Amino acid sequence: MTISSHAGYPRIGADREWKKSLEAFWAGKIDEAAFLQQQQEIRLNHLRKQQAKGIDLIPINDFSHYDHILDTAVMFGIVPKRFGYEGGAVPLPVYFGIARGTKDAAASEMTKWFNTNYHYIVPELGGAEPVLAENRPLQAYREAKEKLGIEGKPVIVGPLTFLKLSKGYAAAETDEWLHRLIPLYVQVLQELAAEGVQWVQIDEPVVVTKLSEQDVERLGTIYKTFAEAVPSLHIMLQTYFESIENYRDIVSLPVKGIGLDLAHGQEGNLASIRKYGFPANKVLGAGVIDGRSIWRADLNEKLALLDELRKTVTDDHLIIQSSCSLLHVPVSAERETKLAAELKGALAFADEKLDEIALLTKAVSQGADAVHNELNAAAEALRVLRSSAARNRRDVQEAVAVIAAQEPNRNKPFAERHAVQQAEWKLPLFPTTTIGSFPQTAEVRKARQLWRKGEWDNEQYEAFIHNEIDTWVKLQQEIGIDVLVHGEFERTDMVEFFGEKLEGFAFTQNGWVQSYGSRCVKPPVIYGDVAFAEAMTVAETVYAQSQTDRPVKGMLTGPITIMNWSFVRDDISREQVAYQLAYALRQEVEALEKAGIGMIQVDEPAVREGLPLKEAEQAGYLAWAVKAFKIATSTVQDSTQIHTHMCYCEFHDMIDSIEAMDADVISIETSRSHGELIHSFEQNTYKLGIGLGVYDIHSPRVPGVEEMSGMIDRALRVLDPQLFWINPDCGLKTRGREETVASLRNMVEAAQIARNKYAAL
């Protein structure tokens, strides 16, 4: 008999109660006991919901207080020595210290989870002596069974994926580290088996990337060891985000089931099944419901896909599930009461995806006639959206087609522009700036809320924003920053703000997803053709410039980042969506320049995360991503300085594309991975202006001058001092005023020390 499951459920709760609990604990408003009680109730409510929706095999241990990779590290006692861990179960202050930093210890590095907008904490293996500190999957299994009678499916990150995502060891030490980790995994699995666990989901998403022959052999060793140690345990080797590489090797592993992504990885995985079949003795976890998309599934199409799979796999060896964890989509579309009917009818968030999984399972078990009405309703909802006026704007489509056929370039090469800009701006050696945003205090958020509710009129709100701009322009001048920003106090989010002002976007009321830690974002929905309506940033930027003689940067979010941090329509290519966004942003860039703003920053922090996992597709993506940026920025005068910003970027694998963007200045997040990035520049020359972030804004600590000076000196071993800028890692929106001012003062002092040192050379 076919059963239903999925790969994981969102942590945050329909009302972000998880986030609120975390932040209350961090703020000292609740103690540890109250925090743990709240977290347990949230966790159990999620399980109750899945029970009620008829999911047969419910995942457990997919819940986390912060991040599932961090959970795996602390389960094995892998804690950096600077946090003073002395063994045993890792205390919560140490756990959160690793993630967020403490007064005395820098946080561990945070980076993107494959090609998603989720961030994980990078385990640091250097000097670690792994042990099983606590069996978290076992605790989760017992809780679900004792409290709710659920025979859960524990979820664990697999050894090879965990190791590949970690740092602090040499490639030659890979086998040594697996030798350390495998016995600990065996201990976890044996304790689960002894408890009566039937299924365990072991996530190995690394198998969708290109593996070496050694890695394939390592997988064989890992899962042979598991099979021999726990022969009674049903292991579902779960893959996601793409089709698996080395298909025949992976499906031959001694596990009970293989979970395949049949949404993003449908083409490749289906081709492999057609060519090589699927082992008769294994269960196929058919990930037919897209765990990363908010759009309702074409259920007739999914049933046709399942019918094809059933020619190879018997019904009792088929589990219908999501393509990946539902962590990447909002919790429920039920309360989205303000969306247009044509749009709301086509949405499916996590809860609706569970309904789709259950419905498809019923259709397979009882026949399509048993769900005839539901299938028709889904088809009609998709038809209505496809035929909407918002998706069929000929003016946009024709204009973008003309622009996309051209090759956008600045009038002069960088070296000539740089000379013009130096003459125009007369900046000192090592100019200092920030990335854009300043602290969004409770007062700022309250003012915005009053304005949105209509309790403040436009004049009141504008006066408040101007006052905030005045305060921070004066502070920046007093601190000694060379190139200022207006602070972005009018913006809730760097993508949402622009989406609200462009046509073709819609906004949910409760469509929150976790980005990192308690940081949740509410991505806009690109559901129609994107079009420029009116100037979006000119008023605030011009006002800030009127308050100072120093240059003020205009601040925009780039087309690729807006796209990658939005939920994107799936009826046209992402390349076409990017060009529509770029054309709209070009009009904003031109409006800023016309208004007298001669420095314009177009941030692209999300370019890297959109990089396809398949090497064969990466060059094509980077080519049109670069083109989209240049469409937005290439029409300005030579004296207009274009800046951009990137975070969490593995620079070495796309340095040529970043240079091809031809931005006059790029700032890059580096403080959590400074050494690795500097190594990239030792291997590659970068000839444009660049600022490597000299301190981590995600940590509440105030870094010292000496610490920043060390980062500057190391960077200048491989970068041209005449092209080097000094700035924080990212925007300062989430930081407090006092720590922001103190950190920036130290940064300016470090810049002055560098000027004194290098001016004499």
Tell me the sheet residues that pair with 553. 599
- On the question of pLDDT at 547 being above 90, the answer is yes
Indicate the range of 255-264, 545-554, 698-707 predicted with least confidence. Answer: 698-707
Counting Cβ atoms within 10 Å, is residue 369 exposed (0-12), middle (13-18) or buried (19+)?
Answer: exposed
Q: What is the pLDDT of residues 524-538, one digit of tens each?
A: 999 999 999 999 999
Distance (Å, whole) CA 379 – CA 649: 40
> Count of alpha carbons within 13 Å of 723, Cβ hemisphere only?
22
Which among 6, 65, 674, 698 is annotated as catalytic? 698
Q: What is the pLDDT of residues 363-407, one digit of tens each?
A: 999 999 999 999 999 999 999 999 999 999 999 999 999 999 999
Give the HSE-up count for residue 518: Cα atoms under 13 Å, Cβ half-sphere: 17
- Tell me if residue 679 is catalytic: no
How far is 22 from 514, CA to CA, in rounded Å?
13
Between the alpha carbon of residue 18 and those of residues 40, 522, 698, the distances in Å are 10, 15, 20
Q: How many CB atoms lie within 10 A of CB 414?
A: 17
Strand extents, DSSP E, 669-713: 689-692
Numbered residues of the known binding site for Zn(2+): 645, 647, 669, 730
Phi first, then psi, for residue 724 (nearest 5°) are: -100, 130
- Residues forming beta bridges with residue 203, ordered by sequence position: 157, 238
Report the Cα 48 to chain-centroid distance in Å.
28
User: What are the E-state strand segments in 507-635?
Assistant: 513-516, 519-521, 525-532, 553-557, 567-568, 599-603
> 127 — phi, psi (to 5°)?
80, -5
Identify the band that residue 608 occupies on the pLDDT scale cut at 50, 70 and 90: confident
Q: Binding site membership for L-methionine: which residues?
A: 435-437, 488, 603
Instruction: Give SS3 for 337.
Output: coil
Packing angle between helix 574-594 and helix 615-633, nearest 10 degrees? 20
Percent of the chain predicted with pLDDT > 70: 98
Long-range (24+ apart) CB contacts under 8 A made by 212-216 are: 214/174, 215/160, 216/246, 216/249
User: Domains, the chain, ranges and CATH?
Assistant: 49-386 (3.20.20.210), 418-759 (3.20.20.210)
Q: Are 502 and 525 in contact (CB under 8 A)?
A: no
What is the pLDDT, as a whole number, of residue 700? 74
| Cα radius of gyration (the chain) | 26
Determine the length of the chain. Answer: 761
Least confident of 136-150, 239-253, 409-423, 640-654: 640-654
Output the known binding site: 16-19, 112, 117, 435-437, 488, 519-520, 565, 603, 609, 645, 647, 669, 730
Distances (CA, A) of 187 to 74, 124, 137, 139: 15, 22, 12, 14
Secondary structure letter of residue 90 according to DSSP: P
Q: How confident is the model at residue 715 (pLDDT cuts 50, 70, 90)?
A: confident
Identify the pLDDT of residue 638.
97
Mind listing the pLDDT tens digit for each residue in 54-102?
999 999 999 999 999 999 999 999 999 999 999 999 999 999 999 999 9
The whole-model pTM stands at 0.89
